[in-house]
Structure 1
Amino acid sequence: MTDQTDLDRLAERLGHRFADPDLLAEALTHPSALEGRPGRDYDRLEFLGDRVLGLVIATELNRRFPNAPAGELSTRFNALVRSETLAEVAGRLGLGDLLRLSKGERQAGGGARRANLENACEAVVAALYLDGGLAVAERFVLAEWQALFERDRAAAKDAKTSLQEWAHVAGRGVPRYRIEGREGPDHQPLFRVAVELTGLEPAIGEGRSKREAEQAAASALLAREAGSR
């Protein structure tokens, strides 16, 4: 069971002295830990933290890549806020060992479950935001994501790969591409391609080759879904 000493150590690791330590405890409380007892789990904080994290990451990407098109920013954004990335950060912070879980959830491996780590990471961001304001949350995110920004810069995935990974995590199946049209002379064609995912409206992209049009369509869909988060 996570005690006050554990919370103090985590707060030190986060670089923030909490005026309301209960917020940090709430951020580490899985729904199973309450088991019908009064109290608050991390669900509300996770909801807020998702939005705070998205704002900080999007703002930093806009600063780092002032000339990048929206599709590229969306590709980078999705790589930096996806489930695997959040679980990676949570792992560095040791959140899995600090999560307050029911005995059954703990025995079932809940401390290592990616969804739990992702939720706890976003909840911690929200706890920092509520206790210290946006500047505190931003300082934490930029510090913990610094290496991830550099890794993203060195090995940014193309839009089709990022869309396929996002679709897998979101349970949307495999992206399906189809040619909607072809215009122009043979030496300078313009392809129009649609990409479809289960449960979503198709997105359209254009390019001088089929691959370029597919990349544009994937970027358009990623940008649209990032905007709807």
Structure 2
Amino acid sequence: MKSLFLGTAALALSAGLAMADTVRLGTEGAYPPYNFLNDAGEVDGFERELGDELCKRAGQTCEWVTNDWDSIIPNLTSGNYDAIIAGMSITAERAEVVNFTQGYTQPSPSSYAAMSADVDLKTAVIAAQASTIQSAHVAESGATLVEFPTPDETIAAVKSGEADAVLSDKDFLNPIVAETDLMLIEDIYLGGGIGMAFRKSDSELHAKFDAAIASMKEDGSLNAMLDKWEIEGKF
């Protein structure tokens, strides 16, 4: 809006370039410890700390944008933000639409959690967040899949008896299991690790962040950050 009130074309161009230099990072803000909203309503978590450091190393000014998970890729491709950093597993299907950086985690386990260890996962009703690798796995497993927009709703479904078990990232489930009656009953490995996603047309920006991730791997700071947030998948 400010450019509408500038008195000269040169100032308008300058403002436009400044805006273009700001990289908008899209995240869900509802998937701790990767990303969540703190008491001040700000994006927090492992990916907030990681994203801020990557922006410094890439020489970019960044701002954070939250978006519902089920439309997070469409809103990237339509230009509502410039990158996704949201606990997104690298898969061949998603790579047809976006370009992923190298993973900033190794493939880490997903887990089934239930109120009882006696659940038959082959015939059970399994809750999973929609449009995730976990929901795709359940759909292919022969079990009955019930999908929910948010991860918290999948937990609520198991607690209420609407679902027999939930399948989600183990890093997400660990603190919930520690504080509730849910128990972990089986681990599986899905996807190719977690990475940032970019529009296929943004190859230069993609390369800057890919190089920043590589530099954090080389100097050990990425593993230190994974340790801090108690996330599996170190390098």
Q: If the TM-score is normalised by the length of the shorter chain, which range does it land in?
A: under 0.3
* Higher RCO by CA contacts (8 Å cutoff, separation 6 or greater): 2
Q: Which has the higher strand share?
A: 2
Q: Specify the structure having the higher radius of gyration (Cα).
A: 1
- Please, what TM-score do these two structures have when normalized by structure 2? 0.26
